[in-house]
Structure 1
Amino acid sequence: MGESCCRDILRKLVYKFFDLFVILFIITPACVFTWRGTWILMDSYLLSSTPKYSYWISYTAGISYCICCHFFQDVLNRIRIKLRKYQIVNVFLTRLYYYAAAIFGINVWRGAWGLLDIYLGKGIEKAVISSLVGFAVLIPLRGINNLSFPPSFLSFDWQDNQFDLFHTRFERKEGDASFVDDLKHIGDVLFSYLLLILADITIWRSLWECIDALLDPNDPVMTGIVSASYGYLMFLFLFVLNPFVQRAAVKLSRFWLLRLLFLQFYAFIKFTAINSMWRGVWYILDTHVFPHNEHYRGIVAHVVGVSVLIIMGTMRSVGEVVFSIDGVDEFEPVSYLSHLRKICSNGQYSLVSTKDRHEQEACQIAAQDSEVDDNNAINNNGVNA
């Protein structure tokens, strides 16, 4: 009995070790490679002679794409359900959609980041002031967790509603019979994409600028290694600390404001680790992959990053827009292998339950068509009345 228990504990530890290894050293660097490669290619090909206009085009095109996809993603999900029996077509279209979402999402950040550089300027004082403005937006709205990127946040390509990438802070939906509901939905979208995302970018840029100022900017090799080391070590420390944080949050449940501030502080520390990790990998990439040829570096980083993410089934982690709520949406440590095992054994791509899944999807289509007919009937009755 004792030996069996020890074996189970050892197996879980080994499993968790490989899970962390895959997330930290394969998926997360692939995300950074995708971001950096796309960023370099945009700098090279999108009006490189006039950076200000290039940044404005990146930002407006990226925001417009995200908002348009948000309004059409329900329609895309209905089309996907009808085409689900064509597995190859379904996989190709969803991965192409994730790739486009990643490109336009990165362009939002590139455009806003560059415009902040132009209009605010660089320097630790300006970075601190702009970060305070960003926190003044996120803290009351309980959005500190929105600063998390991989490895703290992962989204898997095999999720059910595969075209649900662009969410909003209040998750309002289009009303079928109320003009007021439609206005609230539009306001939620504009508020989320024009204010909250900009606050996230401002805080990320501010911390990045502060680290640039504190570490030696003339030695990119050393600053990249130090930044990555701190980020990885701090994230591992927070990973070990997470169960104790969750227990403390439960004990503070009667004091909601104190609990909220405690969880927001924990989310902020986690954000500093992720920011430092990304910055370190970013600089290491710049100094070790075609250091004297930025164009080749951009192509290699983009191709390698995208290829790894598609193979690992985490391409949507780069493009998905999620607005979590501090104190409500508290995530457990991200796990990759358990999701992979589930999808390989009895997940949605399992051949064992293909017939059952098609029957369920047919029922879903029929239910949605019936709901549309009912809404149309209600609207017609209202018009006739």
Structure 2
Amino acid sequence: MTVLSAIISVVVPVPILLAFRACGNLVAAPGVVLVDICDTPFRLGTRFAAEVSFSRTFIGDVVLTVVFIGSLIVASWRGVWLLFDIFLFPTDQERSAWSSVAIGYGTLILLALLETPASRLLQKTRRRFARIVLEDVFKIAVWVGVLSVWRGFWLVCDSYILPDNPVQSYWITHGVGIGGLFLLQAGRSVLVAGCVVDGEAVDGSGVRMGRYLEQICPKLVRPSTEQVSNQRNHSDGGQQTTLPPQYVVQYETNL
């Protein structure tokens, strides 16, 4: 484990992902939450959205998405994870774990507060390149927060959940995690499958992280959204500023 190895694992794959406009695929839960209520649960997107067939185009698109882009994502995760291991209290696992959790959740909470202003800024940005840059910056920040949470919780579980009996600890954490997701109907959040393309959404939804209640119980959230929209319409002298419906119930199609 060396600093050089970790840096290479970041500086090589991330620019390639930027070139392929695939940085959004770095993000996982809790930076993106998907519920199990979906019309096409087994439909996985590919980078160039080739039509499903036995053609070379579709097979090549699948290989590019799964093997090439997927490997770049794994390498990027490895690099940042190792950098945390090297620089964040490397001799104190418990302190490193809790610090990682705090950094991760602090980052994600801040970004959750900023996602609405960022979304409005993207809607006003007409140049596609500028929109892609803004979206990528936001997604990379979300990714770092997500990775920090993953690492922190991983180490917390290692430190406190039956540390002397690792096999039993693994089964307990797996059972609690999967069982909780199934009960909440959020099992799709485990798998970040398919491929999203940065900058494709022109409605600002590219920086929306997706909230659980807005997807599983949209009727609980929609009245508040409509009230905010009505207040904006009143303040704008009747000018229509209603939020697009994608913001409320269709995050999973844009993430």
Q: 2:168 maps to which residue?
A: 296
> What is aligned with 1:25?
none
The structural deviation recorded for 1:343 is 9.1
1:138 aligns with 2:10: no
Tell me which of 194, 216, 224 is aligned to 1:340. Answer: 216
How big is the shift at 1:131?
1.3
Are the aligned partners of 1:155 and 1:320 in contact in 2 as well (CA < 8 Å)? no
Q: Give the drift of 1:132.
A: 1.4
CA-based RMSD of the aligned residues comes to: 1.9
What secondary structure sits across from 1:309 in the alignment?
A: helix
Compared with structure 1, are the counterparts of its residues 222 and 322 closer, same or farther at alpha carbon in structure 2 (3 Å cutoff)? same
Q: How far apart, CA to CA, are the structure 2 residues paired with 1:316 and 1:247?
A: 28
Alignment of 1:71-90 (within 5 A): none
**Amino acid of the structure 2 residue aligned with 1:338:** E
Aligned residue identity for 2:56: L
- Deviations along 1:175-203, whole A, 9 cap, x unmatched? 4xxx7xx1100000011111000000000
Question: Do 2:101 and 2:149's aligned partners in 1 also have CA atoms closer than 8 Å?
Answer: yes
Q: Is the 8 A contact 1:228 1:280 kept in 2?
A: yes
Extract structure 1 runs of 4+ deviating beyond 6 A: none
Equivalent-residue separation in structure 2 for 1:339 and 1:258 (angstroms): 29
Partner of 1:167: 45
Contact map agreement 1:151 1:334 (CA 8 A) in 2? no
Which structure features the higher share of helix residues?
1
Distance of aligned partners of 1:148 and 1:285 in 2 relative to their CA distance in 1, 3 Å threshold: same
Equivalent residues of 1:143, 1:325 under 8 A apart: yes
Q: Deviations over 1:262-315 (max 9, x none)?
A: 221121111111111111111111111011111111111111111111111111
Residue in structure 2 matching 1:213, options 68, 71, 86: 86
CA apart distance, 1:320? 4.5
**Structure 1 position 327, deviation (Å):** 1.3
186-195 vs 256-265, greater mean Cα deviation: 256-265
Cα 1:320–1:262 change in 2 (3 A) is closer
SS, match of residue 12 in structure 2: helix
1:194 equivalent to 2:67? Answer yes
Number of equivalent positions:
216
- Cα separation, 2, equivalents of 1:186 and 1:216: 45
| 2-structure distance, mates of 1:157, 1:343 | 17
Give CA deviations for 1:298-353 in whole Å, capped at 9, x if unaligned: 11111111111111111122134131111124142412123222599xxxxxxxxx
1:137-179 deviation per Cα after TM superposition (whole angstroms, max 9, x unaligned)? 2001111111111122122212112322x3321121234xxx7
| Aligned counterpart in structure 2 of residue 285 of structure 1, from 121, 146, 157 | 157
Structure with bigger gyration radius: 1
Contact kept, 8 Å, 1:135 with 1:199, in 2: the verdict is: yes
Task: Give the match for residue 151 of structure 1.
Answer: 30
Alpha-carbon contact 2:6-2:83 (below 8 Å) kept: yes
Q: TM-score, normalised by structure 2?
A: 0.79
The alignment status of 1:239 with 2:117, answered yes or no, reads no
TM-score normalised per structure 1: 0.53
Identity %: 25
Structure 2 counterparts to residues 356-371 of structure 1, below 5 A: none
Measured after TM superposition, the shift of residue 258 of structure 1 is: 2.7
Q: Corresponding residue for 1:223?
A: 96
The CA deviation string for residues 187-243 of structure 1, in whole angstroms up to 9 with x for no partner, is 000111110000000001100000111112221111010010011111111111112
Q: 1:192 to 1:205 in 2, by over 3 A?
A: same
SS of 1:319 mapped into structure 2: coil
Gaps of 5+ in 2: 221-255
Q: How does 1:344-355 map to 2 (within 5 A)?
A: none
Q: CA 1:308–1:296 in structure 2 vs 1: closer, same or farther (change >3 Å)?
A: same
Partner of 2:246: none
Between 150-159 and 283-292, the greater mean CA deviation after superposition: 150-159
Q: Which residue of 2 aligns with 1:306?
A: 178
Does the CA-based 8 Å contact 1:128-1:206 persist in structure 2?
yes
1:251 to 99, 124, 138: 124
